[in-house]
Structure 1
Amino acid sequence: MADLPPEQPDSTDENKAVPVPAPQLLVMPPNDAIPSMVWPGTEGETAWAIPVQIPSGTRGYALFVPMVAAPASVPAVEKPVVKPPVTTPKPAENTTPKPPPAVIPQRPAPQRPAPQSPPYAARPFGRYEPAPSPWQAFRKKNWPAPKEAQGWAVPAGVLAGALGFLIFLPLDRVGIGWFLGWLALTLGVGFAVHKSPDLPRRERLIRAGWAAAALALMLIPAFRNAWWLVTFSVLGAIGCTALAIVGGRQVRSILFSLIAAPYAAFAGIPWVRRHLKASPNPGIARRAFFSVALTVVVLLVFGALLSSADVAFSQLLDDVIPDFAIGSVFQWIFLAVAGGLLAVSGIYTLTAPPKTSSLDTEGRGRFGLIEWAPAGAALVLLFGGFVAVQFTVLFGGSRHVLKTAGLSYSQYARSGFWQLVAVTLLSLALIAALARWAKRDQPIERLLLRVLLGLLCALSVVIVASALSRMWEYQRVYSFTGERIFVMASEMLLGVIFVLIAVAGIKWQGRWIPATTVGLAVLMLLGLAALDPEGYVASRNAARYAGSGKIDAWYLRALSADATPALTKLPDPVRRCTLSWIAEDLKEPDPWYAWNLGRVQARQALKELGPGAIGNQKDCKSADQFDLPKTRR
């Protein structure tokens, strides 16, 4: 902004210096013909300037236009107002001359003050720009859009993801196609972004590790059929894919990746479309479409002729090509769109990855020693008393419980498991809050906080062990189920997290705990898949039936094909009942993209058993005598 010239005194008043209007500078966008701006003031007033801020990265040239002073306003001239005469009844004619009409002088209108300048940068044309939202400010600073690029690598990666889901992914039942579709998506995204220089080598290895974890979880539907295990595996694979795309190492950035990945899938569509428009060969899309259409026509015509000529070849085509129906068309469209959007999210984000480190800020100490120490110490004393009782139960056994509580050991085991799970989760949240917001500026604060958190972690591990022992005893008395095994595995994971927190508290270095927890959850799911939980449940229930003569046949017949080899070892009529639903589900063969090891083993076991050993609903009615009571007592 140019400096103002020195003020010159007015000739009308020698004692008062009146400034003379001076040219002012205004930043404007580039234009060939810019008119001069009228100075928003009057002559004789003090000159003023408009502050202008140019944001970094603004395109264009800074042009400076002089302000032209506006002419001084001239006061209005007084005009006489003629008052109309009052009409009265005419008297007799009088020769006296009439007086002149009365004139009422008008006061001049008061002048309004000059408009004040706005407190923000003014624009000569258009309206003022609105302030950016927090999301827009974050994107501009930490997640800028990727640069425009030409080439066919990006569209090819999106096409690979769409075709991978369309060809391989089965929605009617689990199989190897889930892994193959995810593998095609991963390879397509990796091919499109393999030359991206925005990620350092260490970060690339971490992202590749999350992608490998997602593929490992997607292998579970190729080996197991338990609905709950497959569901958690697919959800875990989606979460690992989000971490591979966006990144994240702490709680905030990990949660941000779950939101940013779906957002990038839609935000990147215009960017991918511009790659098609900017291609050096604009006719390639039209030629590719023509090639695909011609290939489909050729395969339909000659495939129909050859299948009608040979029965064996027709059967092969029926196994390879899925059944065509109107609903299948919508299913194919959905799969292609889902695969394409996931590929867009991965390519768009990995080309210009966000700075997730800006989200993972260190917590500031808000609570002093007098605020958090009494509550923490009281909780430690409460946990200590509970743990002392648990040690007497664990080492005293069922006799101690029967003597003190008047309950059976199985009733005692069932009574407080979910309460202990809630205590474990609340303890974990409390420890995380103390580690983030408790002040530790003084050495005494750090020492007390370290001791308090260590005691809480140790006592929480004992509570986890108590909950696990209760659940194990409950299943031993009643029956094993896949869901209870999953709950036990989750409780064991919480116990490991407490151990990790205790280790991190030694040197106050716990930034690695959230990502490590996600990795341990992946290992937990892979371990459950290796255990074959429903096969294990079926074998334990068969052993229990051989020893006590009690079995829950209605629950066992609802298990997946994973339990079939163990159920074939049961005697009649329990075996005929438990295999009725599974045999009905396995009548139709699976297409190649739905191959599953559990179903292959189940069909083999049923084939060795023979159709006469498989029952129906009547056999289950005769097996009611072997069921446990529906109300657990």
Structure 2
Amino acid sequence: MNDTRSLTVGIAADPTPDLAPPPPMTTTTKLGLGTLGAALLLGLLGDGLLRAFPWGINLPLWVALLIAALFLLAQWQRVPLTGGGRWLALPILFFSGAIAWRASPALTFFSVLALLLSLGLAASRTRAGRIAISGIAEYAMLLVSAGINGILGALFLLFGTIQWKTLPRQRWSGPVMAIGRGLAISLPLLLLFGGLFAAADAVFDGIVRDLFDWDIDKIFSHFFLFAFWSWLVGGFLHQTLLSTFELPTGIERPRFLSLGLIEVSMVLGALNVLFLAFVLVQFRYFFGGAILVEATLGLTYAEYARRGFFELVTVATLLLPLLLLLHWLLRRGEDRQPALFNALSGALILMMFVIMVSAVQRMRLYQTEFGMTELRLYTTAFMGWLAVVFVWFVATVLRGRRASFASGALGAGFATLALLLAMNPDAFIVRNNVARQQAPQPFDRGYVTTLSGDAVPALIETLPQMKPEDSCLIASYLLVGWSAPEEKDWRTWNWARSQAWAAVEANRPALEEMACPGRGDSDF
């Protein structure tokens, strides 16, 4: 009797059998959960910040939060970040900040491109690996790996990295699952009977419509942007902190693609002869000037310059990858190969510098005749970058350090873009074109009105130097196009646009006095 009572009490005291404890949670799972949480939070912030256009302070703010999340997660789980990619946090922050600095669409495009390149390389080389000593092919494969991880990384995180079975089972997990099952069963029934009641009674139908009068398009856009940014951030953080997936970066040259010294020497020798012939012609025009051009070709010097500049830029652009390709294809094995290749390549590069000087001279003459534009300025800057890269090619590839070439070329590109950002090309174009009021070709007032807010302070500054008919139209344009809007979104704040609005407001009385009467929005 007593034994039965004891057994009954024992059963009542422990009504459920003991469950086997889950396996211990690994550090990888903990980091994966933290990465998932950071991705969801940054996705929510991305929806709130980056839905406002045009992008301004919202982009660098969000990018700074992304970089902060990366380093905080690494610090939390003691993930060593010893790769060369960790230093790319500096250009990432700088080029994202450029979006809030300049308003030029061209600079915005190049800054976003530099930002994406930096993020792609950082994702692959922040934990380990080198950035400074990597070939062009390796850079390309790293960027492809970053793209694949950006698209699929969230899947790897959810279904591979995080071991969901190791999560501790809490006492509330059962009730939560029960509530979920209850909602899944009850919602379809509510929709069914609610629809029938709404169809049966007009008053009830009106109440239901008022209660659920939601903007479906807006809800969908919020959900889409939240999911989009969360997915990309999850992929980026997963690759940077957790992923072991990477495409092979070392591309071995197939035997059948190699070229011997004879073939390469013939190609480079033929190009040297052609380049030399062209350079000799250029020397004639360097010393003969406009008189020789007009007498020989029947063209004005400006027309001659206009015809040749972009073709010479194309020549310089094609020569560099050609030399890199020939160097990659050249079979090694003979002691005289590097010396002969270096001599022929070096001669080509020397003549290429003469051709580039000719191109710059043509652009200077062309600009004097027709004025400066964004295309002409950016192409000239591209030529400057090419000149630096050719020098770097000689210092690395021709001296047996090909692996260092790509990082130097990329760094030179970043430096060129930084100089352009500091220079403010739109303002430079305005000042340059206004200064040539006495040039044969008239001042193109229509073109300067297509420039961004970067140009507005310079336009106001140079108005007194313009002809009355030009200053009249420019002043009217500034009043119509750059008066401060009544409503501003802080997320789209941009330094250049804010400076443009402030300059117009500060000079409004003078602009109104100078503006053409009767000009309105439809005139611009």
Q: Distance in 1 between matches of 2:516 and 2:120?
A: 45
Q: Could you tell me the TM-score, scaled by structure 2's length?
A: 0.75
Alignment pair present for 1:360 and 2:268:
no
Measure, in 2, the Cα distance between the counterparts of 1:379 and 1:158: 53
1:212-361 matches, cutoff 5 A: 212-247=90-125, 249-273=134-158, 275=162, 277=164, 278-280=166-168, 329-354=219-244, 358-361=248-251
User: How far apart, in 2, do the equivalents of 1:548 and 1:474 lie?
Assistant: 12
Following superposition of structure 1 onto structure 2, how do residues 157-176 of structure 1 map, counting pairs within 5 Å? 157-169=38-50, 171-176=52-57
CA 519–337 in structure 1, closer or farther in 2 if over 3 Å, else same: farther
Identity %: 25
Question: Structure 1 residues 407, 155: CA separation in 2 closer, same or farther (over 3 Å shift)?
Answer: same
For residues 212-611 of structure 1, the aligned pairs below 5 Å read: 212-247=90-125, 249-273=134-158, 275=162, 277=164, 278-280=166-168, 329-354=219-244, 358-361=248-251, 363=253, 366-545=258-437, 550-568=442-460, 569-570=462-463, 571=466, 572-581=468-477, 583-584=480-481, 586-588=483-485, 589-610=487-508
Check conservation: 2:47, 2:226, Cα contact below 8 A: yes
Offset of residue 616 of structure 1? 7.5
1:474 is aligned with what amino acid?
Answer: Y
The answer to whether the 8 A contact 1:253-1:357 is kept is no
Do the aligned residues in 2 keep the contact of 1:567 with 1:575 (CA within 8 Å)?
no
The 2-side partners of 1:328 and 1:347 are apart by: 28
Deviates more, 1:333-342 or 1:494-503: 333-342
Instruction: Rate the CA distance shift 1:573–1:328 in 2: closer, same or farther, 3 A.
Output: farther
How far apart, in 2, do the equivalents of 1:214 and 1:259 lie? 18
In 2, the alpha carbon distance for the partners of 1:618 and 1:256 equals 59
Asked whether the 8 Å contact 2:430–2:458 carries over to 1, the reply is yes
Distance apart, 1:618 and its partner CA: 6.1
Tell me which amino acid in the other structure corresponds to 1:390.
Answer: Q
Give SS of 1:378's match. Answer: helix
The alpha carbon displacement at 1:172 in A equals: 1.9
1:177 to 58, 66, 78: 58
Letter in 2 for 1:251: I
**Alignment CA distance shift 1:608-1:400 (3 Å):** same
Contact 1:160–1:185, Cα closer than 8 Å, also in 2: no
Question: 606-615 or 383-392, which moves further after superposition?
Answer: 606-615
* Structure 1 CA distance for aligned equivalents of residues 104 and 331 of structure 2: 47
CA separation of 1:580 and 1:400: change in aligned 2, threshold 3 A: same
Q: CA RMSD in A?
A: 3.3
Shift of 1:498: 1.1
**Does residue 89 of structure 2 align to residue 191 of structure 1?**
no
TM-superposed deviation, 1:194: 4.0
C-alpha change, 1:429 and 1:183, in structure 2 (3 Å) is same
Query: What's the offset of the Cα at 1:336?
Result: 2.6
Deviations 1:392-427 (A, max 9, x none): 323443233223322211111111122212211221
How far, CA to CA, are the matches of 2:63 and 2:247 in structure 1? 28
**1:53 alignment counterpart:** none
Q: Deviations over 1:238-293 (max 9, x none)?
A: 11111110246322222223322232134232343354945447779x99xxxxxx
Deviation string for 1:281-306 (max 9, x for gaps)? Answer: 7779x99xxxxxxxxxxxxxxxxxxx
Separation (CA, whole Å) in 2 of partners of 1:511 and 1:462: 28
| Structure 1 residue identity aligned to 2:110 | F
Aligned partners of 1:349 and 1:190: how far apart in 2?
14
Report what 1:210 is aligned to. Answer: 88
Q: Secondary structure at the residue paired with 1:407?
A: coil
- Cα distance in 2 for partners of 1:507, 1:196 equals 43
Greater C-alpha radius of gyration = 1
Give deviations 1:317-337, integer Å, cap 9, x for gaps: xxxxxxx97765454444433
Secondary structure in 2 matching 1:590: coil
Deviation at 1:180, TM superposition (A): 0.6
TM-superposed CA distance for 1:178, in Å, is: 1.3
Distance 1:522 1:414, change over 3 A: same
Shift in CA distance, 150/462, structure 1 to aligned 2, threshold 3 Å = closer
Deviates more, 1:262-271 or 1:414-423: 262-271
**Alignment CA distance shift 1:256-1:506 (3 Å):** closer
Contact kept in structure 2, 1:243 and 1:254, CA below 8 Å: yes
CA deviation vs aligned residue, 1:515-551 (integer Å, no higher than 9, x gap): 2212221222111111111111111122122666821
Between the aligned partners of 1:336 and 1:228, the Cα distance in structure 2 is: 28
Counterpart AA for 1:172: F
1:67-146 paired onto structure 2 within 5 Å: none
Shift in Å at residue 511 of structure 1?
0.7
Higher fraction of helix: 2
Quote the residue 1:612 is aligned against.
Answer: 512
Helix, strand or coil at the partner of 2:403: coil
Instruction: Tell me how far 1:432 sits from its aligned partner.
Output: 0.8
Equivalents in 1 of 2:268, 2:276: separation in Å? 12
Give TM-score scaled by structure 1 length: 0.63
User: In 2 relative to 1, CA 516–246 (structure 1 residues): closer, same or farther, beyond 3 Å?
Assistant: same
Give the match's secondary structure for 2:437: helix
2 CA distance for matches of 1:546 and 1:530?
29
**Structure 1 residue 485, shift from structure 2 partner:** 1.0
Amino acid at match of 1:336: F
Amino acid at match of 1:490: F
Distance verdict in 2 for CA 1:596–1:614, change over 3 Å: farther
Q: Per-residue CA shift, 1:359-415, capped at 9, x if unaligned?
A: 234547721122221221111111112122223323443233223322211111111
